[in-house]
Chain A
Amino acid sequence: MSAIPISPVAGPWHLPSRGRVAMLSLITGETAIFTIFVVAYVFYIGKSLSGPTPQQVLDIPIFNTICLLSSSVTIWLAERQIDRGKMRGFAAWWALTIALGLVFIVGTGIEWHKLIYVDGLTIRTNLFGTTFYSLVGLHATHVVVGLIGLSLILIFTLTGRVKEEHSERIQVFALYWHFVDAVWVVVFTVVYIVGR
């Protein structure tokens, strides 16, 4: 093998972080699931044959929404803290995020209690009931999963296992939480504004 041409030298080699890619892929898939439920909700607006209508029974959950959307801000602040290695600040903002998420879930529970026991709206009452509880319930399930993850991370933080070098992973997890909040913006608009 004589006269081998000199192969081009490969320059610096940068690849995206696999955690980020994976989380964005998961979010893409989840977006598709939510889209189908939103489409079903929108399609069935006004098509219930009987039973309570959105206008009759839905109150706009302003306080809940403010809490949930604020939790995106608090989690972002937490990300900034851990990026700078400030673990106590990180834990504080992280805990606040959990608290805000919990308020949202409890608020949803209160809303549902009223709808079921006062207004008589269940998942089997009519098309509105079916699509409402399915869509809002699907979102609430994702909030609960997020809260479980957030809580586990808080426990690991308080026991000293989470360090500055985990900043990237925290950001990847936070992407999920931001996604949950973004979905709420859509669900809120469709259910409480467009659909009423």
Chain B
Amino acid sequence: MADQTLPMSGSLDVTPRERSRAVLLEWLHGWVVTVDHKRLGILYVVYSIFFLLVAGAEALAIRIQLAWPNQHFLSPQVYNRMFTMHGTTMVFLVGMPILFGFANYLVPLMIGARDMAFPRLNAFSFWLTAFGGLLLYYSFVGGFGLYGMGSAPDVGWWAYAPLTAKAFSPGHATDYWALALIVSGFGTLGTAINVIATTLSMRCRGMSLLRMPLFVWLMLVVSALTLVTITPLTAAQIMLVIDRYLGGHFFDTQAGGSAVVWMHFFWIFGHPEVYVLVMPAFGIASEVIPVFSRKAIFGYPAMVAASVGIAFVSLGVWAHHMFTVGMTSVGNAFFVLSTMLVGIPTGIKIFNWVATIWGGKIRFATPMLFCIGFLFQFLIAGLTGIMLSVAPWNWQLHNSYFVIAHFHYVLVGAIVFNIFAAIYYWYPKVTGRMLSETLGKWHFWLFLIGFHITFDTMHFVGFLGMPRSIYTFEPDRGWNHLNLIISLGGMIQGIAVLIFAWNLVHSYFRGKVAGNDPWDAWTLEWATPSPPPVYNFAIDPEVHSRRPLWDLKHPEDPDWKYEA
């Protein structure tokens, strides 16, 4: 049962409560100069939600343009900027920051630490990421695009050479893309280093690596993976800038340079990147599903091993994005095999989640609803991924709407669903108030319906031969009504997200007071008040199992009697 008086040291807040009558400037100043991991975590999440709305608006603009053939809602120049910015924003200004934001907030709390290992580096990394994003969006008002028209980057988020060469992209659009991401990439690197150092060097007594919450494990694996994932992109972007500004020839096909080399470098980043994005979502699911099934996670050691396995194998699959560029048959076959292999540890995770639910007592609160959606959708996404790994079939599906459907199934159906779950789950801890369950259920069902209307249909329009990155399509190809349906689903998702945004704001002022542990959960963050005091724990905790609060709540049957 959840109450305020758990016998865990440090769970009682002994700071005198000050009336927060700080002058607005002082309040702002506090947020700007903070090095507190909780505040930085909140800054990351708020920043990401802002850009989620911006990139969502870009998506809606795309879908209005594509709702029917040969529309003139967006010119091709603007359209190309929309899809480039939508992808770039969602990956770098929403996905990465929000997940590292969750890590920032939760990891020290979950391991019983006072803050991250390097609080000032933490703040510096956040502001680098933030300014990188602002630089990217400044491109809308500064800079020139393809053929000297427009402003924001318009070369696709993958920015293939030689389209990005000065010859084919005069003006500054591509430069904004490269420089903004180099800057924010350094921020990401800083946070990754911080998470690794925190996880390895700041765990409380008794918390061996195999007793860490799975969310912490996944963030450790993700941060390590980030070190070798973001850096190839940074290197390639430096090369691109050298080409564009110093007359280099890295990707200059006229001088003997290779467009394929850019592809290799980009996807050496790009594929592990999607695992960097999805694995924190796995971590969230591994926290939420057990609590709402009332059972410990099934197969903790297997889950850890699978996560590490995924990270390693994901470094060897990148050229499955390049099956159509003319690699040898042996090269293609190799990447088919490696890609299929990475599906195995991923599948193991799904099975373990199902086994966690099996035999439990499922409570369908909003976080769990989103996690259940995640489970079905990630299963489908994994299977369409297998389809795409079959190289000959990939020769048809590559660069079609089937691929867009697949990766949105992962990015939205798995990751965004889990981000929503995480916010509903941890919002009470961060703010001290519960989000409205009623609004939450409206959000969930509307978003689920909209998601499926859009992305299920998208698979079929891909089967019918519709390629991606096109500002309009021909009316005689049988794609008209399917695109209209896809666009309508997008509108429904937009409404759902607005309900969510309203829920966030309204509940901050009017939500039910949460208390320490509204969900009756088992990890250390629930032993602190909501919100936690700035020092997290008055006395450093000591743990003896993976579920320290379970041990306290069930002293007659603690976990440490059963854990290996």
Contact = CB atoms under 8 A, between A and B. Distances in A.
B246 A124 contact: yes
Given A36-B265, A49-B255, A124 B118 contact: no
B202 interface: yes
B247 A15 contact: no
B520 interface: no
13 contacts: A1-B555, A1-B556, A4-B556, A15-B203, A18-B118, A21-B201, A22-B194, A36-B231, A130-B249, A131-B250, A134-B242, A134-B248, A138-B238
B117 A22 contact: yes
Interface of B: 117-118, 189, 192-194, 196-198, 200-203, 205-206, 223-224, 227-228, 230-232, 234-236, 238-239, 242-243, 246-250, 255-258, 261, 265, 268, 542, 544, 551, 555-556, 558, 560-561
A123 B558 CA distance: 66
Interface in A6-28: 7-8, 10, 13, 15-19, 21-22, 25-26, 28
A32 B231 contact: yes
B231 A30 contact: yes
A28 B551 contact: no
B558 A7 contact: yes
Interface of A: 1, 3-5, 7-8, 10, 13, 15-19, 21-22, 25-26, 28-33, 35-37, 40, 43-44, 47-49, 122-124, 126-127, 130-131, 134, 138
A43 B261 contact: yes
Contacts of B238: 134, 138
Given A18-B117, A33-B232, A28 B227 contact: yes
Contacts of A4: 555-556
A5 B227 contact: no
A180 B101 CA distance: 32
B37 to A, nearest CB: 14
Given A130-B242, A134-B248, A33 B235 contact: yes
B231 A10 contact: no
Contacts of A122: 247
A31 B231 CA distance: 9
Contact of A15 (B118, B202, B223, B239): B202
Contacts of B268: 36
Nearest to B544: A7
Contacts of A40: 239, 250, 261, 265
A29 B232 CA distance: 9
Nearest to B194: A22
Contact of A10 (B206, B232, B234, B561): B206
Contacts of B228: 28-29, 31-32
A43 B235 CA distance: 15
User: Of B202, B249, B258, which is in contact with the most chain A CB atoms at under 10 Å from its CB?
Assistant: B249
Contact of B256 (A8, A13, A47): A47
Contacts of B201: 15-18, 21
Contact of B196 (A21, A33, A134): A21
Contact of B227 (A29, A49, A134): A29
Nearest to B195: A25
B159 to A, nearest CB: 16
B227 A32 contact: yes
User: Of B230, B247, B248, which is in contact with the most chain A CB atoms at under 10 Å from its CB?
Assistant: B248
Given A3-B556, A15-B200, A49-B256, A32 B561 contact: no
A124 B200 contact: no
Q: Across chains A and B, which 5 residue pairs bring their CB atoms closest together, nearest first?
A: A124-B247, A36-B235, A18-B201, A32-B231, A10-B206
Contact of A5 (B118, B230, B558): B558
Contacts of A26: 189, 193
Nearest to B188: A29
B555 A127 contact: no
Nearest to B554: A1
Given A18-B198, A130-B242, 7 more contacts: A18-B117, A25-B196, A29-B227, A36-B235, A40-B265, A127-B256, A138-B238
A15 B111 CA distance: 13
B558 A25 contact: no
A1 B556 CA distance: 8
Contacts of A29: 189, 192-193, 227-228, 230-231
A3 to B, nearest CB: 6
B203 A5 contact: no
A22 to B, nearest CB: 4
A21 B195 CA distance: 10
Contacts of B203: 15
A124 B231 contact: no
A1 B248 CA distance: 73
Contacts of B256: 44, 47-49, 126-127
A42 to B, nearest CB: 11
Nearest to A12: B205
A5 B200 contact: no
A124 B248 contact: yes
Contacts of B192: 25, 29
B227 A123 contact: no
Given A21-B196, A22-B196, A123 B246 contact: yes
A36 B193 contact: no
Contacts of A16: 200-201
Contacts of A48: 256
A134 to B, nearest CB: 6
Nearest to B545: A7
Contacts of B193: 22, 25-26, 29
A31 B189 CA distance: 13
